[in-house]
């Protein structure tokens, strides 16, 4: 990650949830993971499981505004024969329709895999406040692992990022999918 954001490793709490602290050095905002983050990531995982059942890469996303899910999606690239039908893009479209706005200020995206460059660009354009993702994408990640589009200060909007909520569950589903594809 760039110098303007630090992500502290997870500290396993006494309950089944994890506590992580993310600090943006410029604003000194600190976010604490709660059961609410866990709940919304579970909803994104349900979307990912739907993609898995439809033989799509199992990535799911939900967008939350004022405590309510306003958009959700799962990968549908194969079904729709559309290379842009990623979970994040479909969730953005649904949220914009629900909120009757092209901008998603005040919204958070929960997604099971780190967004790719296409999705990261769309998220910046939508003016989303925060991205919470489970698993890091070591081949196409654009939220800090390979690229850092969402924190690029040359762009007119930067997005807070929180990484690692339910990482093991998301990684397990992805591994199961790719093992099945290799058989």
Q: Within its chain, how far is the Cα of 109 from the centroid?
A: 5
**Which sequence positions are flagged as catalytic?**
88
Bridging pattern class, strands 18-19 and 107-113: unpaired
Q: Could you identify the residue written with the tokens 């594809």? A: 181
Terminal-to-terminal C-alpha distance of the chain: 36
Distance CA 42, CA 20 (A): 17
Distance CA 98, CA 164 (A): 28
Distance CA 27, CA 99 (A): 28
The DSSP 8-state label assigned to residue 14 in this structure reads S
């Amino acid at each position: 990650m760039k110098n303007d954001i630090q992500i502290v490793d997870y500290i396993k709490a006494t309950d089944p949830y994890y506590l992580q602290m993310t600090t943006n050095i410029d604003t000194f905002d600190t976010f604490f993971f709660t059961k609410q983050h866990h709940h919304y990531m579970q909803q994104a995982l349900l979307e990912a499981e739907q993609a898995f059942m439809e033989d799509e890469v199992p990535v799911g996303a939900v967008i939350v505004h004022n405590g309510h899910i306003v958009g959700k999606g799962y990968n549908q690239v194969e079904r729709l024969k559309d290379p842009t039908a990623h979970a994040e893009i479909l969730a953005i479209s649904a949220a914009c329709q629900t909120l009757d706005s092209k901008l998603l200020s005040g919204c958070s995206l929960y997604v099971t895999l780190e967004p790719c460059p296409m999705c990261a660009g769309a998220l910046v354009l939508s003016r989303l406040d925060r991205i919470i993702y489970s698993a890091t994408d070591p081949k196409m990640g654009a939220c800090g692992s390979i690229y850092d589009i969402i924190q690029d200060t040359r762009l007119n909007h930067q997005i807070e990022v929180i990484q690692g909520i339910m990482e093991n569950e998301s990684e397990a589903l992805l591994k199961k999918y790719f093992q099945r594809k290799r058989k």
